[in-house]
Amino acid sequence: MRTSPQADPTVSKGSEIVGRRWAAIVLMFVASLAGAQRPLVITDVTVISVDGDPRSTADQTIVVRDGRIESVGPSDTVKRPRRAQTIDGSELFAIAGLTDAHVHIKRSRSDLDRLLPLFLAHGVTTVINLDGGSSVLRLRDEIDRGERLGPKVVTSGPIIRGHEGMTAEDGRTVALDQIEAGYDLIKVYNGIPGPAYLSIIQAARERDVPVIGHAVRSVGLDGVIEAGQHLAHMEEVVYGYFTWPQRSSRPADLPNEIGPRLDALLDSELIAPLAERVAEAKLFVTPNLTAYHNIVLQLEDLDRSLARPEVALMPASMTRFWQRDRNDYLSRPNLPRFLAGVSRTFPFLQELTKAFDAAGVALLAGTDVGIPVIVAGTSQHDELEELVTAGISPGSALAAATTAPAAFLGRSDSGRIEAGMVADLVLLRANPLVDITKTRAIEAVVVRGRAFERNDLDDLVRFD
């Protein structure tokens, strides 16, 4: 078992603890490769369901076999397999594994050695990567085959940024090439000209691949709604609609450049009818409130943002770019004006989030892991809290991290605790429908049928 840790350059320093952690991980992964896992039984647990009206059902027993939920029902009726690993769930609450619907993990192997365990240790069993590359495709497939431990990875192709002179033909070619390469989604960005955008949408529709991203500026939010494109940030609703130059006759679309006019442009009266249209078009929208709120917080007091204990868990190659001298947000011109702009915009994003939820828009909980001060895994719990603070119910917030991403990805066998579902589960010590912060009180995480209890989870993220 020593060979694998030593072969990995990041742990070759040979710390006893790192060695032990890796030995444990490697053992578990070899066990899974060996095929048949021991069945897992979680007894007398309260099962949380957020599919439809949120509800808690007490005294349930969940039987897991070969990575799937085999059965779930009242404890006195469910047949338990012999020689199963058993977890006493009598004091616990089971939710489906969480999906972070917006991450950036096109990173080095040593960075991933931190990021992947961080996700799992915090109950994030699926991530949607929104800027792909061949290394992410390989990672996705290695995890799917059980050769590497990590959350299930779903990935877009490389961001299609667009450029002046990009033709409709260019758009079609790039979209089809990405689909051909095996990417799960297409991610679009601000600068794609209208005809190229429409041909990307058309090609993706032909192949039944979802398109998600920014509000492409050439078409604005109206064009995005018409195209059925999903949104990777709530702030894009502001740029593509409320401050969209063509609509507002303003020359720029960033709050910091709009300055004092911003107040008039962020018109709450327009929110409800817009929410109706987005709901009708069946767009999935990722509010990403944590990411935006943290822009405000780090501009106000970077030291405070960096002093959060979880920051130390992230790879140094990433946190280096969070420091004052290299932080993108702190290097903007006219910082006081930028701070004023984002501070004014954040409550508007909360208002939009609440109204979209009320109108029936499917929200996705995503956090933009990869940008400054966002910590893999813990940020998902920050986002759930942000959603509830914005005014949506704990049940809707949980749906945004479980059932909604499953629907977005067309994964009808995940995101719920029912027979036949992929066995991705999180066991909590308190009921998150009563208090959403309890999603942090994790007692165990089940990843494709494999249980990681509290000690295992602590070991996963003991990096020093």
- Quick one: which segment of 79-87, 208-216, 236-244, 360-368 binds Zn ion (CB under 5 A)? 360-368
Binding mask 210-239 for Zn ion (x = CB under 5 A): ------------------------------
Out of 236, 368, 385, 456, the only residue in the binding site for Zn ion (CB under 5 A) is: 368
Name the minimum Å distance from CB 328 to Zn ion. 13
- Quick one: which segment of 164-172, 334-342, 368-376, 432-440 binds Zn ion (CB under 5 A)? 368-376
Q: In terms of CB distance, is 235 or 368 closer to Zn ion?
A: 368
Pick left, alpha or beta for residue 418 (phi over 0 → left; psi -120 to 50 → alpha; otherwise beta): beta
Q: In terms of CB distance, is 5 or 213 closer to Zn ion?
A: 213
Q: In terms of CB distance, is 266 or 374 closer to Zn ion?
A: 374
- Quick one: which segment of 156-164, 298-306, 364-372, 446-454 binds Zn ion (CB under 5 A)? 364-372
In the sheet with 284-285, reading across from the earlier edge strand, the strands are 186-188, 211-213, 230-231, 284-285, 362-363
CA 115-158-346 angle, to 5 degrees, is 65
Name the minimum Å distance from CB 58 to Zn ion. 39
Name the minimum Å distance from CB 187 to Zn ion. 8
Q: Which helix (H) or strand (E) holds 407?
A: helix 403-409
CA 51-56-60 angle, to 5 degrees, is 105
Q: Classify the C-alpha dihedral 126-128-129-135 as positive or negative.
A: positive
At 418 the three-state DSSP class reads: coil
Name the minimum Å distance from CB 178 to Zn ion. 17
Name the minimum Å distance from CB 92 to Zn ion. 34
- CA-nearest of 314, 278, 293 to 104 is 314
* Residue that the structure tokens 């006019």 belong to: 261
Cα distance between residue 117 and residue 403, in whole Å: 23
Q: In terms of CB distance, is 133 or 259 closer to Zn ion?
A: 133
Name the minimum Å distance from CB 375 to Zn ion. 15
Does residue 70 belong to the site contacting Zn ion (CB under 5 A)? no
Of all residues in this chain, which one has the CB nearest to Zn ion in the complex? Answer: 368
Q: In terms of CB distance, is 37 or 229 closer to Zn ion?
A: 229
Name the minimum Å distance from CB 292 to Zn ion. 12
Identity of the residue numbered 443: E
Cα distance between residue 296 and residue 386, in whole Å: 14
Q: In terms of CB distance, is 113 or 368 closer to Zn ion?
A: 368
Beta-carbon contacts of 215 under 8 Å, excluding residues fewer than 6 positions away, are: 190, 221, 224, 231, 236, 237, 239, 240, 241, 244
Cα distance between residue 424 and residue 97, in whole Å: 5
Name the minimum Å distance from CB 8 to Zn ion. 28
Q: In terms of CB distance, is 93 or 408 closer to Zn ion?
A: 408
Number of residues this chain uses to bind Zn ion (CB under 5 A): 1
Binding site for Zn ion (CB under 5 A): 368
